[in-house]
Chains A and B, each alone.
Chain A
Amino acid sequence: MRLDAKIPEGKLEEKWRNYQIKSKLINPANKKKLNVIVVGSGLSGAGAAATLAELGYDVQCFCYQDSARRAHSVAAQGGINAAKNYQHDGDSVWRMFHDTLKGGDFRSREANTYRLAELSAPLIDHFTQQGVPFAREYGGVLVNRSFGGVQVQRTFYARGQTGQQLLLAAYSQLYKMIRAKKVTMLPRTEMLDLVVVDGKAKGIIARDLVSGEIKRYAADAVVLATGGYSRVFRLSTLAIGCNGSAIWKAHKKGALFAAPSFTQIHPTALPQSSEAQSKLTLMSESLRNDGRIWVPTAKGDSRKAEDIPEEERDYYLERRYPSFGNLAPRDIASRAAKERIDAGHGVGRLKNAVYLDFKHSIERLGLETIKDRYGNLFKMYRKITGVDAYKEPMQISPAAHFSMGGLWVDYELMTTIPGLYAIGECNFSDHGANRLGANSLLQASVDGYFILPNTINNYLASEIKQASVSADHPAFAEAEKDVKEHIARILSIEGSKTVDHFHRELGKVMWQECAMSRSKVGLEKAIHQLNEIKEDFWQTVKVTGHDQELNTELEKALRLADFIELGLLMCTDALQREESCGAHFREEYQTEDGEAVRVDDNYAYVSAWEYTDSGFQLHKEKLEFEFVKPTVRSYK
C-alpha cells in the first residue's frame, strides 16, 4: 500500500491556500442532500458537527456520555496556543510551527504542523466571538502566558478551565444547530462498528446505551472524533469512559493506525494510592515553576520528608539537567522520575512517587505569593489527598496523558478508508512523537472547525453523483450481526473474573513495558503477556446483566476487549522503532548519560499499521523535511 499524504504544492505558507483553491466545492442545494456522521462530541467533534451543519450538511452526532458537554476536552486546564503575537515578543506562525515540529522530535509532517500554527490565530477570534471568557488585562485586551518551555507567551487561557470553556462554546454552537434542526444529537449512544460499502465508509452500527438496542446509521461520510486511548494503561489522566473502540473498529475495517505507541506521559499527576484507584488526577505543570523535585538519596528511606536533611535529598532533575532543572520537558521529567522510582528511591505509601517541594519557594517568596500563584492547585491537592502541601511536599508521579498516535490521516484528515475521517486526538497528525503543552485543545479545534469542513467537500463532491446507501444495505446487516454476536459471546463466557481485573492486568503490563521506557526484551515479554491476558479474558471474564438494558459492565467489557488488542499493536509498534524519539524511549538507544538517541536515517517515517488476518503489517510514510533541518533536542 502506498501512503499518499496528499501534501499540496508550493511553499509552506502557501500550501493550505493552494489546497483550498483546488478543492472541489458543493453548491448549497446539494449539501442539504448529504448526511455526515460525527462520532464524539468533544472539541473536535462538536466543532465539526456544528460547522458542517452551518455549511448545510445534515449531521448526526454521537456520544457515549449523557450530554455532549461532558467530553474530556473539559479537563484541559492550561490553555490554548495561538500565534497572535499579542505580546510583541517575536512570535510568528513560523516560530510556532518550528516549536511544535521540534517538540515532536521531528516525527510529524511539516505541512500539517504548519497549518496547525497558521489556523491558530483565527481560532482565537472564533472562540472569543462565541463568548469564551479568556483572561484579560484591565484595559480589555487578551492576556497570554508562557507554557511548556517555549520562549514566547502565546497561551490563551480561561482560569483553570480553558478546556471546559472551549468545549462549552463548541457545545453551545452545536445546540444552536440542533435547534435549527440541522444536527441530530444522539447522546448515550456508542459506536460499535464501522460500515464499509464498496470500500467507502457509509455508516456505523451503534448501541443505545439505555435500551441496549443495536441500531444502524447510514451516511455519506463518517467522521471519528473519539479522543485519546491512554486508558489502555488503565491509570491515566483521561476520563474513565475514554476508549479506543471506535478507531479500533475502523482499523479492523481497513483504516491504517499510525504511530500507536507514541504516548505522552505527564510528569505531575498524583500517584496511585491503592489497587482500586481508577484515575490519576493531573496537577498543572505550572507547579514546576516554583516547586523543586527530589527523592531521598537513600533507597527505601521511610522517614517523613521533613525529617530528611538537605544533604540526603537528591534533586535529580537539577542534577541531571542543570540548565533546565525542574522545567525539563514532560517526557524527560517523567522518564527521570521513573528511573529514580525504579531504582528504589520512590516515596509515599506505595513508594511510587517523588516529592514536589515548595519549602524553598515559600521561604524565598513568602507564603502569600505561593498562595496567590497556586492557591487553587493546593486546594485541589488537599481535596484529593487530605494533605496540606504548604506544610509538607506534594507527592507526584508520572501518568499516561495523551495519545500522539491514532488513525493515519492524510492532509485532508481522511483515513485510508475513503469517506472516513479522523479528527482531534484520535488521529495521528501534528504532534509527532511528543506534544507541546497547550497544543491539544488547539489541534482538536482546528481540525474540527477549520480543516475538516474545508476538506470533506472534496470527497463528498463526487459522492453527490451517486445515490446514498441506505441502512438496509447488506453490509449494514452483516455488521449488525457481527456486533450482536460479539456481545453475545462476551455475555456467554460467564467466567470468574471481573472486567476491571483484566483492565488492571493490562494496565500493569502496558505501564511497565510500553510507557516511559521500552526495551526489546520487555516489549517481547509484554506481547506474550498481552496474548495471555487476551486469551484469559475470552475464557474467564464475567459480565452480569443482559444486553437489552443499561449495562455498564457490558460497556466496559466491550471497550476492554478492544484495548487489549490495541495494546498489542502499541507494543508491536514500539518494538519495531529501534530509536528513541520524543516520548518513545528505547533503552537500547541512549547515550552514556541516559539521553535519547534518534536514528533519522532509518526511522524518519510514520509507522502505519494495517490489520490483517496474519497480524499487523507495517507500512511507512517517509517524512520529508524540506523546510526545517532536524536537530538534536538537548536540555542539558
Chain B
Amino acid sequence: MKATFRIWRQDTPNGQGGFKDYEVDGLNADMSFLEALDHLNEILVLRNEKVVAFEYDCREGICGQCGVYINGRAHGPHENITTCQLHMRSFEDGATIVIEPWRADAFPIIKDLIVDRSAFDRIIEQGGYISAKTGTAPEANAIPIGKEISDRAMDAAACIGCGACVATCKNASAALFTSAKINHLNSLPQGQPEAHKRVLEMTAQMEKEGFGHCTFTGACEVECPEGISIVNIAEMNARYLKAKLFS
C-alpha cells in the first residue's frame, strides 16, 4: 500500500513551519496510523533526514498522548477514537493524507506535530483534586454513593486529556475537558467541601490559559475518544452560576 503524507514540519516553537510531502511505499492496511509514521521515520533515517516528531505512548487508546489532525479531523476520519486506534485500512491506496498538529493558542507547537498541552495540567492544579492527605480517609463504605451518581461521575471521569476537544473546537475552547473534571469531582460527596472553590478556580485558570468560549458546536463530543457529552459543559455552567451565587 502507498500513501503520500503531507506533514507539517516545524523545527522550533517560534520557527516558520510548512507542509512537506512524503511518498511512502510498503505500507499495509493492518498498520496503525502511528506505525505508518514509524515506517516513514525509518525511511527518513536511512535517507539521512531528521525524523518527524510526533507523540504517542500507550498505543491502545488510553494514555491520551497521541493526537494529530488528520485529513481535517482530530484523530482522523472516525468518531470517538484516538490517533493510535486509526488504521491504514481507513485510507485508500495511494491517498494523500494531510497531517497537522493541534492548533490552539494555548497549545503552542514544540516541534513538527508535537504541541504543549501543559495548560491542562495547570487547570487540574487549580482544584482538579480532592484535598485529603494519604492516611486520612474514612472507611470506603462509610459514605454510600448511589449507583446513578457514581455512574455519572464515571462518565465524566473517563476523560483521557488528549486535547482533541480543544483541537477540533473552532474557538479552541477547553470547556469539555474542564467540565468533565469538575463534574466528576463535584458530583461525588467527597468533592462537596471544595465544590464551589473548585469550579471557580479551575474555570479561572481555563480562562487565563487563553482558551476560547464554548459555542456548543458539539464537535468536541464527536471527536472525544471517550465520547464525553457536551451536556457536561452545561452542567459546569450551572455549577459555576451556583458557585457565584452561593460562595
- In the complex they form, whether A and B have CB atoms below 8 Å apart is answered with yes
Residues of A within 8 A of B (CB): 47, 50-51, 54, 65-72, 74-75, 84, 86, 122, 124-126, 128-131, 133-142, 158-159, 161, 163-165, 168, 171-173, 175-176, 178-179, 185, 187, 210, 237, 239-241, 273-274, 276-279, 281-282, 380, 383-386, 449-450, 453, 496, 498-501, 542-545, 549-553
Residues in A neighbouring B143, C-beta threshold 8 A = 128
Contact A383 B81, CB 8 Å, known A129-B138, A131-B130, A544-B50: yes
Query: What's the nearest-Cβ distance from chain A to residue B201, in Å?
Result: 10
Query: What's the nearest-Cβ distance from chain B to residue A316, in Å?
Result: 26
The CA-CA distance from A498 to B40 in the complex, in Å, is: 12
Per-position 1/0 for B236-247, Cβ under 8 A of A? 000000000000
Residues in B neighbouring A126, C-beta threshold 8 A = 132, 134-135, 137
The interface-forming segment of B62-70, B93-101, B168-176, B213-221 is: B62-70
A241→B57 contact, CB < 8 A: yes
Apart from A75-B58, A133-B150, 9 more pairs, CB < 8 Å: A67-B121, A74-B62, A125-B140, A128-B143, A131-B185, A133-B184, A168-B157, A276-B35, A383-B85
- B30 located at the interface, meaning its Cβ lies under 8 Å from any Cβ of chain A in the complex: yes
- B105 located at the interface, meaning its Cβ lies under 8 Å from any Cβ of chain A in the complex: no
- B200 located at the interface, meaning its Cβ lies under 8 Å from any Cβ of chain A in the complex: no
Query: What's the nearest-Cβ distance from chain B to residue A565, in Å?
Result: 23
Per-position 1/0 for B71-87, Cβ under 8 A of A? 00000000001001101
B81→A72 contact, CB < 8 A: no
- The winner among A133, A276, A282, A501 for most chain B CB atoms within 10 A is A133
Chain A to chain B: the 9 pairs with minimum beta-carbon distance, closest first: A140-B144, A172-B129, A129-B137, A133-B154, A279-B59, A273-B30, A128-B140, A125-B137, A51-B134
Residues in B neighbouring A380, C-beta threshold 8 A = 61
The CA-CA distance from A179 to B201 in the complex, in Å, is: 12
B130→A130 contact, CB < 8 A: yes
Residues in A neighbouring B128, C-beta threshold 8 A = 172, 175
Residues in A neighbouring B139, C-beta threshold 8 A = 125
A239→B64 contact, CB < 8 A: no
Query: What's the nearest-Cβ distance from chain B to residue A229, in Å?
Result: 15
24 contacts between A and B (CB under 8 A): A47-B134, A54-B133, A54-B134, A67-B117, A67-B118, A70-B58, A72-B57, A74-B63, A86-B141, A128-B143, A130-B190, A131-B129, A131-B184, A133-B154, A136-B147, A142-B141, A161-B154, A173-B134, A187-B118, A281-B60, A501-B42, A545-B51, A553-B41, A553-B45
Across the interface, B31 reaches (CB within 8 A) one of A241, A274, A449, namely: A274
The CA-CA distance from A73 to B73 in the complex, in Å, is: 29
The CA-CA distance from A12 to B238 in the complex, in Å, is: 53
Residues in A neighbouring B116, C-beta threshold 8 A = 66
Residues in A neighbouring B150, C-beta threshold 8 A = 133-136, 140
Look across to chain A and name the residue whose beta carbon is closest to the beta carbon of B134. Answer: A51
Per-position 1/0 for B10-51, Cβ under 8 A of A? 010000000000000000101110111011011011101111
How many A-B contacts are there with CB distance less than 8 Å? Answer: 230
The CA-CA distance from A137 to B59 in the complex, in Å, is: 33
Residues in A neighbouring B145, C-beta threshold 8 A = 136, 140
The CA-CA distance from A158 to B154 in the complex, in Å, is: 7
- B120 located at the interface, meaning its Cβ lies under 8 Å from any Cβ of chain A in the complex: yes
B184→A210 contact, CB < 8 A: no
Look across to chain B and name the residue whose beta carbon is closest to the beta carbon of A384. Answer: B85
The CA-CA distance from A479 to B101 in the complex, in Å, is: 37
A66→B118 contact, CB < 8 A: yes
Contact A449 B134, CB 8 Å, known A124-B140, A137-B147, A276-B39: yes
Residues in A neighbouring B157, C-beta threshold 8 A = 131, 133, 158, 161, 165, 168
Query: What's the nearest-Cβ distance from chain A to residue B119, in Å?
Result: 10
Contact A140 B147, CB 8 Å, known A124-B140, A187-B118, A552-B51: yes
Residues in A neighbouring B140, C-beta threshold 8 A = 84, 124-125, 128-129, 134, 142
Residues in B neighbouring A84, C-beta threshold 8 A = 140
Across the interface, B121 reaches (CB within 8 A) one of A68, A125, A385, namely: A68
Contact A70 B57, CB 8 Å, known A130-B130, A133-B157, A276-B38: yes
- The winner among A69, A129, A281 for most chain B CB atoms within 10 A is A129
B63→A70 contact, CB < 8 A: yes
Query: What's the nearest-Cβ distance from chain A to residue B86, in Å?
Result: 9
Contact A138 B39, CB 8 Å, known A125-B139, A128-B140, A175-B128: no
Residues in B neighbouring A550, C-beta threshold 8 A = 53, 110-111, 114
B131→A176 contact, CB < 8 A: yes
Look across to chain B and name the residue whose beta carbon is closest to the beta carbon of A174. Answer: B129
Residues in A neighbouring B35, C-beta threshold 8 A = 274, 276-278
* Majority secondary structure of chain B interface residues (helix, strand, loop or mixed): loop
- The winner among A66, A130, A240 for most chain B CB atoms within 10 A is A66
Across the interface, B46 reaches (CB within 8 A) one of A187, A281, A496, namely: A496
A171→B124 contact, CB < 8 A: yes
- B56 located at the interface, meaning its Cβ lies under 8 Å from any Cβ of chain A in the complex: yes
Across the interface, B129 reaches (CB within 8 A) one of A142, A173, A281, A543, namely: A173
- B89 located at the interface, meaning its Cβ lies under 8 Å from any Cβ of chain A in the complex: yes
Residues in A neighbouring B46, C-beta threshold 8 A = 496, 498, 542
A279→B62 contact, CB < 8 A: no
- B158 located at the interface, meaning its Cβ lies under 8 Å from any Cβ of chain A in the complex: yes
A179→B65 contact, CB < 8 A: no
The CA-CA distance from A550 to B161 in the complex, in Å, is: 22
Query: What's the nearest-Cβ distance from chain B to residue A225, in Å?
Result: 15
Query: What's the nearest-Cβ distance from chain A to residue B149, in Å?
Result: 8
Look across to chain A and name the residue whose beta carbon is closest to the beta carbon of B44. Answer: A544
A138→B117 contact, CB < 8 A: no
B65→A178 contact, CB < 8 A: no
Residues in B neighbouring A544, C-beta threshold 8 A = 44-45, 48-51
B51→A122 contact, CB < 8 A: no
Look across to chain A and name the residue whose beta carbon is closest to the beta carbon of B130. Answer: A131
The CA-CA distance from A278 to B33 in the complex, in Å, is: 11
Residues in B neighbouring A498, C-beta threshold 8 A = 42, 45-46
The CA-CA distance from A553 to B96 in the complex, in Å, is: 25
Residues in A neighbouring B45, C-beta threshold 8 A = 498-499, 542-544, 553
A175→B110 contact, CB < 8 A: no
- B160 located at the interface, meaning its Cβ lies under 8 Å from any Cβ of chain A in the complex: yes
The CA-CA distance from A84 to B141 in the complex, in Å, is: 10
Query: What's the nearest-Cβ distance from chain A to residue B116, in Å?
Result: 7
The CA-CA distance from A318 to B38 in the complex, in Å, is: 40
Residues in B neighbouring A131, C-beta threshold 8 A = 129-130, 153, 157, 184-185, 188, 190-191
A240→B111 contact, CB < 8 A: no
Per-position 1/0 for B182-216, Cβ under 8 A of A? 00110010110000000000000000000000000
Residues in A neighbouring B114, C-beta threshold 8 A = 66, 550
- B92 located at the interface, meaning its Cβ lies under 8 Å from any Cβ of chain A in the complex: no
Residues in A neighbouring B48, C-beta threshold 8 A = 542, 544
Contact A239 B58, CB 8 Å, known A86-B141, A131-B130, A449-B134: yes
- B125 located at the interface, meaning its Cβ lies under 8 Å from any Cβ of chain A in the complex: yes
The CA-CA distance from A40 to B72 in the complex, in Å, is: 35
Look across to chain A and name the residue whose beta carbon is closest to the beta carbon of B122. Answer: A175
Query: What's the nearest-Cβ distance from chain B to residue A593, in Å?
Result: 36
Look across to chain B and name the residue whose beta carbon is closest to the beta carbon of A139. Answer: B144
A553→B51 contact, CB < 8 A: yes
- B126 located at the interface, meaning its Cβ lies under 8 Å from any Cβ of chain A in the complex: yes
Look across to chain A and name the residue whose beta carbon is closest to the beta carbon of B150. Answer: A136
B132→A67 contact, CB < 8 A: no
The CA-CA distance from A273 to B87 in the complex, in Å, is: 12
Contact A386 B49, CB 8 Å, known A69-B64, A124-B140, A142-B140: no
Residues in A neighbouring B60, C-beta threshold 8 A = 75, 237, 279, 281-282
Look across to chain A and name the residue whose beta carbon is closest to the beta carbon of B129. Answer: A172
B137→A72 contact, CB < 8 A: no
The CA-CA distance from A472 to B45 in the complex, in Å, is: 37
The CA-CA distance from A122 to B81 in the complex, in Å, is: 36
Residues in B neighbouring A501, C-beta threshold 8 A = 42
B137→A138 contact, CB < 8 A: no
